Amino acid sequence: MKSLAIIKTTMGGGAAIMLGGLLAAAPAAQASSWRTVPCATQALIAAINAANSSGGATINLAPRCAYHLTTASSPNAQLGDTGLPVITSQVTLNGFRTTIAGNDSSFRILMVTASGRLTLRGLTITGGNTPGPGGGIFNLEGTLVLSNTQVTGNTSAGGMMSAGGGIASGTLGTGPLGTTVLDSSRVDDNTSSGSAGGILNHGGTLILNASKVDDNTAANGGGGIASGTGGMGGAGSSILVLNASKVDDNTANGGPMAGAGGIANGGTATISSSEVAGNTAPGAAGGGILNHGVMTISQSRVTGNTAPADSVGDQGIGGGIANINLGQVAPGAVNGGILTITFSQVSRNTASGQGGGIFEATITATGTSAGNALTLAFSNVTGNQAAQGGGIFAVPGSPVTLVFTGVARNTPDNCFPPGSILGCKG
């Protein structure tokens, strides 16, 4: 195999480190031999097979090459077929304006198992199409790191397990298992007939550093990102972290039973120095964000998101953010809807129904009641619009706390019902 070898054998493990204040995945310690795979699909397939069998390798792909996959190398009737060999060891794929493309038919591009660690640098992953999870990439309890990489134009559709049009990561159980890290990367123009048009984080850990998730579409919830376990586990069973990242212009078309044009969180989420903007969820909860877990937002902007009425007249709620405790609407559902916002802006969002900026409630099978803790400190809720509660709509009795926070210039009112939030006028 010497004409195809790419062998930079990996040794040892990796860990999370801090780079410029951002979380990143530390590369595994590696040996020093390097070789390059020619611009030939079969050469790439052979190289990955060799890496898996030898315990790992670094594979240098041909610059500006497009590796076209026409058939699946790794069939799987339950989880969906995969174009390249499944990653079962420590593998790095290095490229420079290099593309790995499927044929938009019936298989995803890449899959990582629990024993695998896959690092992608300088690549575009496109043209995957599977009825299973992860139209582009499926990380099943392993480790996936994207650096300066784009996942675009992939689809997860047509099956019971369809979710994560671009990337699906985590576990089929409750977690937390499986880690995906995006560094200076982009996930865009992917679609899902289930949840998570861009990225699904199911019972795992998802970290975005200086990355962007945009222009993705989900038929159900989480147009950009969906993180959680659907009531299977507690709030800590899925972890989402955004640092200096953007979730913009995504769409969730699931109507009242779904929501979150931008981000759906049913686990634990931390959003720092980031933007959630221009997302939409017709007839649903959370044009920008639907939080039914535990979320902290700091030094960030939630702006220009919409929750309009859908085609059958369902009204949207929480144009910017819907902070909802689901109670026992689903068996084992998290006692969530806990949100803390500091040094941030919730502005210019709209809802056709209630809560242009923020909607706050508990929703159960029998109706709505007071929500869980919502705290805003050193923040602004301005220029939002809704039928009721242009700034904030909170079911009476909800523990909403404003600390040095301005709620102003919202239409037709700042808070509804009148007098329900201490420190909010009009």
* CATH number where 375 lies: 2.160.20
pLDDT in tens, 371-389: 999 999 999 999 999 999 9
- Residue 259 is given by DSSP the state B
In a domain, 298, yes or no: yes
Distance CA 235, CA 372 (A): 14
> CA–CA distance from 28 to each of 17, 119, 285, 393 (Å)?
12, 10, 42, 49
Residue owning tokens 């780079």: 19
Would the pLDDT of 262 be above 50? yes
Residues 6+ apart with CB under 8 A from 48: 59, 84, 85, 87, 91
In a domain, 236, yes or no: yes
Residue 199 sits at φ, ψ, to 5 deg, of: -135, 130
Which residues on neighbouring strands pair with residue 199, listed in sequence order? Answer: 167, 225
Would the pLDDT of 357 be above 90? yes
Can you spell out the DSSP letters for 344-396?
-EEES-EESSB-SSEEEEEEETTEEE----EEEES-EEES-B-SB-SSEEE-T
Residues 6+ apart with CB under 8 A from 19: none
pLDDT in tens, 7-33: 333 323 333 322 233 333 434 434 333
pLDDT in tens, 170-210: 998 887 899 999 999 999 999 999 999 999 999 999 999 99
Q: What is the pLDDT of residue 14?
A: 34
In a domain, 233, yes or no: yes
pTM of the model: 0.90
| Total number of domains constituting the chain | 1
pLDDT in tens, 126-180: 999 999 999 999 999 999 999 999 999 999 998 889 999 999 999 988 878 999 9
- Residue 161 is given by DSSP the state T
Over residues 67-81, the mean pLDDT reads 96
Question: Are 304 and 278 contacting, i.e. CB atoms less than 8 angstroms apart?
Answer: yes
pLDDT in tens, 277-286: 999 999 999 9
Strand 191-192 with 217-218, pairing? parallel
In a domain, 58, yes or no: no
Q: Band the pLDDT of 5: cuts 50, 70, 90.
A: very low
User: What is the CB neighbour count within 10 angstroms for residue 227?
Assistant: 30
The pair of three-digit structure tokens given for residue 16, joined into one six-digit string: 């999370």
Over residues 345-358, the mean pLDDT reads 98
Cα-Cα-Cα-Cα torsion 274, 280, 284, 285, nearest 10 degrees, comes to 20
Over residues 291-313, the mean pLDDT reads 96
Would the pLDDT of 231 be above 80? no
Q: In the chain, pLDDT over 90 holds for what percent of residues?
A: 81
Q: What is the pLDDT of residue 213?
A: 98
Q: What is the pLDDT of residue 234?
A: 56
Would the pLDDT of 360 be above 70? yes
In a domain, 378, yes or no: yes
Question: Are 416 and 389 contacting, i.e. CB atoms less than 8 angstroms apart?
Answer: yes
Q: What is the CA radius of gyration of the chain?
A: 22
Residue 124: is it exposed, middle or buried by C-beta count within 10 angstroms (0-12/13-18/19+)?
buried
In a domain, 197, yes or no: yes
**Nearest alpha-carbon partner for 197 in 236, 147, 247:** 247
Q: What is the pLDDT of residue 158?
A: 87
> CA–CA distance from 103 to each of 81, 155, 167, 259 (Å)?
13, 11, 17, 31
Q: What is the pLDDT of residue 232?
A: 55
Containing structural domain, residue 291: 89-416
Question: Are 93 and 144 contacting, i.e. CB atoms less than 8 angstroms apart?
Answer: no
SS3 145: strand
Q: What is the mean pLDDT of the chain?
A: 89
Can you spell out the DSSP letters for 296-334?
EEES-EEES-EE---TT-PPPB-SSEEEEE-TTSSTT--
In a domain, 115, yes or no: yes
Can you spell out the DSSP letters for 12-59?
S---EEEETTEEEEPPPPB-----B--S-HHHHHHHHHHHHHHTEEEE
In a domain, 63, yes or no: no
Q: What is the pLDDT of residue 366?
A: 84
| 29 or 260, greater pLDDT | 260
Over residues 316-328, the mean pLDDT reads 90
